[in-house]
Amino acid sequence: MKSAVLVFPGSNCDRDMAVALERVSGRKPKMVWHKEAELPLGVDLAVVPGGFSFGDYLRSGAIAARSPAMRAVADFAARGGMVLGVCNGFQVLTEAGLLPGALMRNAGLDFLCKPVELIVEETQSPFGRGYEAGARIRLPIAHHDGRYVAEAETLDRLEGESRVAFRYAEEVNGSERRIAGILSENRRVLGMMPHPERAIEAILGGVDGLPMFETLTQEAA
Partner 1 sequence: MKARVHVSLKPGVLDPQGAAVAHALGTLGFEGVKGVRQGKVLDLDLDETDPEAARAQVDAMCRQLLANTVVETWRVEILN
Partner 2 sequence: MTSSALKPVAEPAITPELIADHGLKPDEYQRILDLLGREPSFTELGIFSAMWNEHCSYKSSKKWLRTLPTKAPWVIQGPGENAGVIDIGEGLAAVFKMESHNHPSFIEPYQGAATGVGGILRDVFTMGARPVAALNALRFGDPEHPKTRRIVRGVVSGIGGYGNAFGVPTVGGETNFHPAYDGNPLVNAMAVGLARTDGIFYAKASGVGRPIVYLGAKTGRDGVGGATMASAEFGEDVEEKRPTVQVGDPFTEKRLLEACLELMATGAVVAIQDMGAAGLTCSAVEMGDKGDLGVRLDLDKVPTREAHMTAYEMMLSESQERMLMALHPELEDVARAIFEKWDLDFAIVGETIAEDRFLILHGNEVKADLPLKALSGSAPEYDRPWSETPAAEPLGPVEAPMGSMEALRKLLGSPDLCSRRWIWEQYDHQVMADSVQLPGGDAAVVRVHGTNRGLAMTVDVTPRYCKANPRRGGAQAVAETWRNLTAVGAKPLAITDNLNFGNPEKPEVMGQFVACVQGIGQACEALDYPVVSGNVSLYNETDGAAILPTPAIGGVGVIEDLAQMTTLALKQADRVLVLVGPNGCWLGQTLYLREILGREAGDAPPVDLLAEKRAGDFVRRSIQGGLVAACHDLSDGGLAVAAAEMALAGGLGADLDAPPQGSEPHRWFFGEDQGRYLIETEAPEALLQAADRAGVAARIVGRTGGEALVLAGESAPLEELREIREGWLPAYMRGEA
Q: Is 32 a residue that touches partner 2 (CB under 8 A)?
A: no
Active site residue 195: yes
For residue 184, the partner it binds in partner 2, partner 1, none, with Cβ less than 5 to 8 A by kind, is none
**Least distance to partner 1 from the beta carbon of 22, Å?**
34
For residue 122, the partner it binds in partner 1, partner 2, none, with Cβ less than 5 to 8 A by kind, is none
Amino acid at 128: G
Query: Is the Cβ of residue 160 or residue 205 nearer to partner 2 in the bound state?
Result: 205
Active site residue 197: yes
139 contacts: CB under 8 Å, gap ≥ 6 = 115, 116, 118, 194, 195, 196, 198, 199, 206, 208, 209
Q: Among 10, 40, 68, 174, which residue sits at the site for partner 2 (rule: CB under 8 A)? A: 10
**Least distance to partner 2 from the beta carbon of 142, Å?**
4
- Applying the rule CB under 8 A, the residues between 54 and 73 that interact with partner 2 are 54-57
Question: Would you tell me which residues interact with partner 1 (CB under 8 A)?
Answer: 58-59, 62-63, 66, 94-95, 100-102, 104-109, 147, 149-150, 174
Task: Kindly list the distances between the CA atom of residue 177 and the CA atoms of 83, 96, 101, in Å, as whole numbers in the listed order.
Answer: 23, 22, 13
Write 177-183 long-range contacts (CB < 8 A, 24+).
Answer: 179/148, 179/155, 180/116, 180/118, 180/148, 181/90, 182/99, 182/100, 182/101, 182/148, 182/158, 183/99, 183/122, 183/125, 183/127
- Applying the rule CB under 8 A, the residues between 119 and 178 that interact with partner 2 are 140, 142, 144
Q: Is 37 a residue that touches partner 2 (CB under 8 A)?
A: no
Set 87, 122, 143, 144: catalytic member: 87
Nearest to 8 by CA among 72, 56, 78, 40: 56
Q: Which residues are catalytic?
A: 87, 195, 197
